[in-house]
Amino acid sequence: MRPGRLGAITRIAGWFVVFYTIATLALGAAIYVIGEGALREQMDDRILAESAYLVDVHRHMGVGGLRQTLQRRDDRGVNALGYLLTSASGRRLGGELKTDRPPAGWAQIEFLDQDDRRNVAHALTVRLPDGNSLTVAMEMAPERELRRTTALLLLAGVSATLLGGIIGGVLLTRAIRSRLREMNSTAQGIISGDMNLRMPIARPDDEFGQLAGTLNAMLDRNSALIENLRQVSSDIAHDLRTPLAKVRQRLERMMVLGPVEGPLHDEVERSILEIDTTLSLFSALLRIAEVEAGALRQYFRMFDLSAAVARVCDSYVAVAEDSDRTLTCRLAPAVLITGDVELVSQALVNLLENALRYTPPGSRMKVVLGTEGGKVLLSVTDNGPGVPEERREILTQRFTRGDRSRGTPGYGLGLHLVQAVAEVHGGRLRLSNAEPGLRADMEFPLPIAETDGQG
């Protein structure tokens, strides 16, 4: 993933949290509105019930009995209600509610409390049969307090729900990312050349397990096809070497037994040369098959890579000078790895031969050996024309050559063998731009004992 960009899982989790937040806020708002309506309805029911009772008192006991009832209720503070009884002319007849006579019906009124502070009440005013007016009011401060408390509780509930959703989204993201990281790590290992790796299956019955099973089946199928192809190539190379060697022997015998002169002699020599070229190709194919099969690992031992590289460099310094090129070597002393010294030396020879073949006279080549990041790094760098980035990845494939016109000698197997040697040693081959030129890095793991010592 590019730095600064969110992964798909993070984006999905983010959208989940956003929609979860919207849904939770909508639910909280709905609960608040419904709760407020229920509170208002409960207040209206209490005022209506009290008004109906007082109207019934007036019907049976008249104004005097109603005034006495209001006085008793005001004295006791029944139901936190306030009362006002006025005449048709607006004169106060009873009740202690300090307010002007409101109009008939429901209204929000202002009144003065016992400390002469202004408050708001929800009131119902009814006209009595004798022309008087009865007002029953309930202070809205308790309702506002209850509404505030309800809002705080809802806010706390919504916050807890959102926090749980965020934590759940983070945990879900980590769980999915962990599973995908395992699969991606396995895929990277397969790309690096370890075709025996398979996707881990924690639970075969879930979606990840089914996907891993399908991918493993596909990898098994591909491995079988690749192995069959390698076996066919090896069989063809092996089976053809014997008859070609016999043909070569007959041509040499013909030149020894009989006088072969003139154009016929030249043709026989060219035929022998072509047969030698074909035999060397088959030998290279068989060598690659042997390396890729991994059978040589049982013969691996620890050896001094610095000494092996120094021997190859000593041999090629003169070769480079003869071709008007310069080779310099910078080698760290006593670098040890576990492997096959001949294979690694052959891989280095292939890299140097490629540098000599594809660089013009006057070019400089450099071999560097050292340790970096817990690994052994052997690099060959030249300042030639280099290789375009789009072709670097395919150069390690069989029969792929740096010269597209295929006008230079070679079979396109050199870098493939180098890659096979690196992978059989638990490392890899990397090609990069040397600006100018090409840099080829062979990475090898440090021996276990040396790695532990560094740790």
Query: pLDDT tens-digit profile of 62-71?
Result: 888 888 888 8
User: What's the CA gap between 174 and 167, in Å, rounded?
Assistant: 11
- pLDDT at residue 233 in the model: 65
How far is Cα 179 from Cα 202, in angstroms, rounded to an integer? 9
What is the predicted pLDDT for the residue at 403?
52
Closest CA to 81 of 100, 60, 95, 62: 95
What integer pLDDT is reported at residue 26 of this predicted model?
Answer: 83
Distances (CA, A) of 445 to 67, 376, 378, 428, 448: 103, 6, 11, 10, 8
Q: What was the pLDDT predicted at 123?
A: 87
What's the confidence (pLDDT) of residue 405? 41
Residue 378: its pLDDT value, please? 96
Residues in the chain with pLDDT values less than 70 = 1-9, 77-79, 115, 141-143, 192-194, 226, 229-230, 233-234, 237-238, 260, 277, 280-296, 398-412, 448-455
What pLDDT shows up at residue 380? 95
CA distance 177 to 185: 12
Question: Which residue is associated with the tokens 């390698």?
Answer: 230
Classified as helix, coil or strand, 320 is helix
Domains contained in the chain, CATH given: 8-146 (3.30.450), 207-293 (1.10.287), 298-454 (3.30.565.10)
Q: What angle do CA 87, 88, 91 make, to 5 degrees?
A: 40
| CB 450 within 8 Å of CB 336 | yes
Beta carbons within 8 Å of 61's beta carbon, 6+ residues apart? 68, 69
Report d(CA 11, CA 13) in Å as an integer: 5
- CB neighbourhood size of 84 (10 A): 25
CA 43 to each of CA 46, 124, 145, 347: distance values in angstroms, whole numbers, following the listed order: 5, 11, 14, 92
Residue 78: which of 60, 54, 59, 102 has the closest Cα? Answer: 54
Residue-wise pLDDT tens digits, 310-324:
999 999 999 999 999
As a whole number of Å, the CA-based R_g of the chain is 47
Q: Count how many residues are written for the chain.
A: 455
* Rounded Cα gap, residues 52 and 45, in angstroms: 10
